[in-house]
């Protein structure tokens, strides 16, 4: 049997780490994008599963880093079945309304990671995903990227970068769906993760619970008529308008 192989970006902590653990439990071989080598949890998980979990240095905001990661994977595997674009950032500077000074450098950083990051990763890993029978590209987006249901009076850089990510996925879908690729654009719910710099105590879900919902959706094969329409779904299965 062919080994199922996944790559996950932003896997050090939060949802990315929980997705790694969840896939390992299901017997997948996982390449985990490591952005914070000083953070110990991913290393501990790799020590427990040395044959199935491989750490790869990966900064999605750097073409050099993404290319080096793709080269390093190509040296050990001939395909990637499931690519999970999970890395994402927010910034306290995003909480300012238009009546406060905007931090455009921070907005650029958010765009670079949240929107362009996934594009860099898909581009670099295409030779490996092309060789998979599954060819599944997953994108952890957010309800914050929905223009139709926009309700915030601030968060410019975060909401705009997630809307831009959704547009990037739409363009990828137009080109790659006819080549056999399948897509998952996903809002994972409000999770107790580290987006604010420290673990949130307030949100609805632990990342481990969120990862179970996410993997159930990422791994499920859908009928072709459903695969042929790009949708954003949340952790409860609801479709979100763009």
Where along the sequence are the contacts to ligand NAP (CB under 6 A)? 9-10, 12-16, 33, 35-36, 58-61, 86-89, 113, 140, 142, 187-188, 190-191, 193-195, 203, 207
Question: Between residues 13 and 184, which has the closer beta carbon with respect to ligand NAP?
Answer: 13
CA distance 189 to 120: 25
Question: Between residues 159 and 219, which has the closer beta carbon with respect to ligand NAP?
Answer: 159
Question: Between residues 146 and 193, which has the closer beta carbon with respect to ligand NAP?
Answer: 193
Residue 41 C-beta: closest distance to ligand NAP, Å: 10
The separation between CA 160 and the C-alpha centre of its own chain, rounded to angstroms, equals: 17
Q: Quick check: 85 and 118 in contact, CB under 8 A?
A: yes
Question: Between residues 4 and 146, which has the closer beta carbon with respect to ligand NAP?
Answer: 146
Return the axis-axis angle of helices 14-25 and 207-219, rounded to nearest 10°. 60
**Those residues with Cβ within 8 angstroms of residue 217's Cβ, 6 or more apart along the chain or in another chain:** 184, 186, 233, 235, 237
Residue 180 C-beta: closest distance to ligand NAP, Å: 26
- 31 DSSP β-pair partners: 7, 54
- 55 DSSP β-pair partners: 32
Residue 80 C-beta: closest distance to ligand NAP, Å: 17
Residue 103 C-beta: closest distance to ligand NAP, Å: 16
């Amino acid at each position: 049997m062919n080994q199922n192989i996944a790559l996950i970006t932003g896997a050090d902590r939060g949802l990315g780490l929980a997705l790694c653990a969840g896939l390992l439990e299901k017997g997948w071989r996982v390449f985990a994008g490591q952005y914070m080598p000083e953070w110990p949890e991913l290393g501990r998980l790799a020590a427990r599963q040395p044959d199935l979990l491989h750490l790869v240095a990966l900064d999605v905001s750097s073409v050099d880093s993404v290319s080096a990661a793709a080269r390093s994977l190509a040296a050990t595997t001939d395909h990637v079945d499931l690519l999970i674009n999970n890395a994402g950032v927010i910034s306290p500077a995003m909480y300012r309304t238009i009546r406060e000074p905007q931090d455009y450098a921070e907005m650029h950083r958010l765009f670079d990671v949240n929107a362009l990051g996934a594009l860099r990763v898909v581009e670099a890993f295409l030779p490996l995903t092309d060789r998979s029978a599954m060819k599944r590209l997953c994108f952890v987006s957010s309800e914050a990227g929905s223009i139709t249901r926009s309700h915030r009076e601030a968060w410019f850089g975060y909401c705009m970068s997630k809307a831009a990510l959704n547009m990037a996925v739409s363009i990828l879908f137009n080109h790659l769906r006819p080549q056999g690729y399948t897509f998952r654009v996903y809002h994972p719910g409000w999770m107790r993760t580290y987006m604010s710099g420290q673990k949130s105590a307030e949100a609805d879900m632990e990342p481990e619970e969120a990862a179970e919902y996410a993997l159930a959706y990422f791994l499920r094969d859908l009928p072709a008529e459903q695969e042929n329409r790009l949708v954003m779904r949340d952790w409860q299965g609801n479709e979100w308008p763009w």
